[in-house]
Amino acid sequence: MKPLTAGFILDMMLGDPHSWPHPVKAMGKTIEKTEETLRGRFPATENGEKAAGAVMAAAVPFFWWAVSYGILKAVKKRNKKAGWLLESIMCYQLLAAKSLKDESMKVYDALKHQGLSEGRQAVSMIVGRDTENLTEEGVIKAAVETVAENTSDGVIGPMMFMALGGAPLGFFYKAVNTMDSMVGYRNEKYEFFGKGAARLDDVMNYIPSRLSALSMILASFLLRFRGKDSFRIWVRDRRKHKSPNSAQTESVCAGALGVELAGDGVYFGKVVKKQVIGDNIRKIQLEDIKRANKLMYATAFIFLGAAGLWSKCFGNRTGKRI
């Protein structure tokens, strides 16, 4: 069994217990410290902040690739089985499928058994928008959108890079993704400093987001969802987002479920205008959170199978492993 496959199985079994140490937390500390250091050494001007942000965007992912590569190489040199186990654990830590399911199902359970107020609180843990005034439909939409969008950067994206370059390349990708989530905002603090991280994240996710969308379309057919609509809405709405990547899987999910997603949202007290994705064939339902998770897992299995086939056909030629 290859490390990526073993890691995926571990993720399905264990998820992400909050009490366990996790590399993403360490990445966050690295990013915070690097930002603090660079802001102290570059001028607080537009060009100075852009330069500092560009240095961080290059340094942090390379640091995490180098550290993970060095540790893994040293362990494999001493014991190949221990190296396989370590890489499997590394792959597991970079995947977020079960965590995504668990957190979105907390929203489902809160709405079903406790009420709207608890549902708003649960969804506030997984989205960046203001949730205190969301309707029940808005809470459900937010949870479904989160599962759909994060199928790409939380599951398929890491898988693709680990398939191409093992766990170390997965760490590189995850560091880019974490940077973007921390500093890639268009606000007063990060308008210029976060630009490098945001642009790098767009580049790194360009191919994974589209492979995720194509895999999700196939999953829609296999699950007997609205397969034809998933493709139709993807073709029509995949560019309805400021990011070139975010609407890829969101549009597929909207079509597969036959609902409207996205639209205006409130962030830090301000209304942000967004285009609607999908057709209002029916009103979104609580069970759509479960359907979105089924779609996410089916997409992951399809991509994992495709990656395994690629490895079997071209692994020896390219020297890459899963």
pLDDT category at 319 given cuts 50, 70, 90 is: very low
pLDDT category at 320 given cuts 50, 70, 90 is: very low
Is 92 in contact with 1 (CB distance < 8 Å)?
A: no
Q: Is 109's pLDDT higher than 70?
A: yes
pLDDT tens profile 150-178: 999 999 999 999 999 999 999 999 999 99
**Structural domains in the chain (count):** 1
Q: Burial letters for 290-316: b for 16+ Cβ neighbours within 10 Å, e otherwise? A: bbbbebbbbbbebbbebbbeebeeeee
Record the tokens describing residue 41, joined without a space: 């050494």
User: Can you give the pLDDT at residue 78?
Assistant: 94
Q: What is the mean pLDDT of residues 59-72?
A: 97
Record the tokens describing residue 29, joined without a space: 């500390």
pLDDT tens profile 242-276: 889 989 999 999 999 999 998 888 777 788 888 99
pTM equals: 0.92
**Which domain does 22 fall in, by range?**
3-318
Q: Nearest 5°: CA angle at 175, between 169 and 178? A: 140
> Across all residues in the chain, what is the average pLDDT?
93
CB atoms within 10 A of CB 14: 13
